[in-house]
Amino acid sequence: MHLEKVNLRQLYVISLIYICRFLATGDSLKTIGHSYRMGFSTVSQIINEVCDAIWKHIQPIYMPEPSTELWERTISGFENSWQFPNCIGSIYGKHVAIKCPPNSGSNYYCYLKKISIVLLAIVDHEYKFVCVDIGGYGKNSDGGIFEASSFGQRMSRGLLNIPPNRALPGQNEETPCVLIGDEAFALTSFLMRPFPYRLLRHDIRKEKYNKSLCRARRVVENAFGILAQKWRLFYRPLELTIETSIKVIKATCVLHNYLRTEKRDLLFSHLLEDAEPIIGALDPLPADGRRATNYSFQIRENFVNFFNT
């Protein structure tokens, strides 16, 4: 079937078939081209355009810019489901294997001994993506990518509609609403991380805090597992350009949210409404080091006290 001989509706259906097969199986462009007797460049163009359309039309609905109401629902969800109060999300980075770009040196070579780009995500209590940053060098740490990301800079400036401080249950002192992450992130007033193992020394209070934080933090790793099970292309290196890889990953993230929200399989036609994606580009912040402040330590101590009362 030649594209010149099909009408717009047929082309729409064909494009959905191509993109669903590509995302669900991770088949190469050559395999899909041979299966449907299409040119490889045509298949590549369809994947680019459909992933752009998915992000443009579905992202404002199922992954909008976080509002105060959205953060409040997440805080309530983490407290009820994971017993971690004042938590606005769990943050982590997933290394997505790619084909080595030309003339890239060691920028994309990560500690997992593969070539990758990083999908950094904030996930809510229902395993849905709240914010994503895609395309970071595989050699960079999650903490460094977060500090350079748009939502990381906005959060540090107080521009992400984070709810006001509130007291933890059973306490009087007000505590900020925070993200939770692992040891790859720096301790800040808006991001809590566990105590390093060397500092525990059989300290039961700190161990309880670490256990509670790690239990709640697992939602982001579970979300990545669900994402990879739905879209099997994550099980093999993406043989695409960096730009196309970013578009594909963005499409899978927003489709993940769509499926988690609707909990049923529907055609995408009722979602295709005119809407523009939210762009949060900001000027980079000046480097100020990654040493935690006394205020950050005090916030973590508030959580330690809460989990030990």
Q: What percent helix, strand, coil does the chain show, rounded to 5?
A: 50, 15, 35
- Going by pLDDT thresholds of 50, 70 and 90, the confidence category of residue 59 is very high
> Residue holding tokens 């301790």?
187
C-alpha 179/C-alpha 192 separation (Å) is 6
Show the tokens assigned to 166: 């509130």
- Going by pLDDT thresholds of 50, 70 and 90, the confidence category of residue 197 is confident
Question: How does the average pLDDT of the chain come out, rounded?
Answer: 84
Report the pLDDT value the prediction gives residue 237, as an integer from 0 to 100.
Answer: 92
Report the pLDDT value the prediction gives residue 210, as an integer from 0 to 100.
Answer: 93
Report the pLDDT value the prediction gives residue 81, as an integer from 0 to 100.
Answer: 93
Closest CA to 217 of 121, 153, 302, 136: 121
- Going by pLDDT thresholds of 50, 70 and 90, the confidence category of residue 27 is confident
Return all residues near 21 (Cβ < 8 A) that are at least 6 apart: 27, 32, 35
For residue range 161-188, what is the model confidence (pLDDT) as tens digits? 999 999 999 888 999 999 999 999 999 9
C-alpha 170/C-alpha 273 separation (Å) is 46
Three-state secondary-structure class, residue 255: helix
Residues 91, 180 contacting (CB under 8 angstroms):
yes
For residue range 253-300, what is the model confidence (pLDDT) as tens digits? 999 999 999 874 444 334 333 333 333 333 333 334 445 688 999 999
The phi-psi region of residue 209 (left if phi > 0; otherwise alpha if psi is between -120 and 50; otherwise beta) is alpha
pTM of the model: 0.84
Integer angstrom CA distances of residue 239 from 27, 185, 283:
10, 30, 32
Q: Report strand pairing: 129-137 vs 191-192.
A: unpaired
Strands (E), 64-177: 87-97, 116-123, 129-137, 166-167, 174-175
C-alpha 156/C-alpha 178 separation (Å) is 11
Which secondary structure element, helix H or strand E, spans residue 178, and what is its range?
Answer: strand 178-180
Kindly give the residue spans of alpha helices, DSSP state H, lying in 37-127: 40-62, 68-82
C-alpha 164/C-alpha 68 separation (Å) is 9
The torsion angles phi and psi of 108, rounded to 5 degrees, stand at -100, 5
Closest CA to 282 of 144, 147, 154, 155: 154
Closest CA to 161 of 299, 65, 282, 278: 65
Compute the CA torsion angle 161, 219, 58, 64 (nearest 10 deg).
0
Three-state secondary-structure class, residue 136: strand
Three-state secondary-structure class, residue 128: coil
Residue 119, CA atoms < 13 Å, CB-side half-sphere: 26
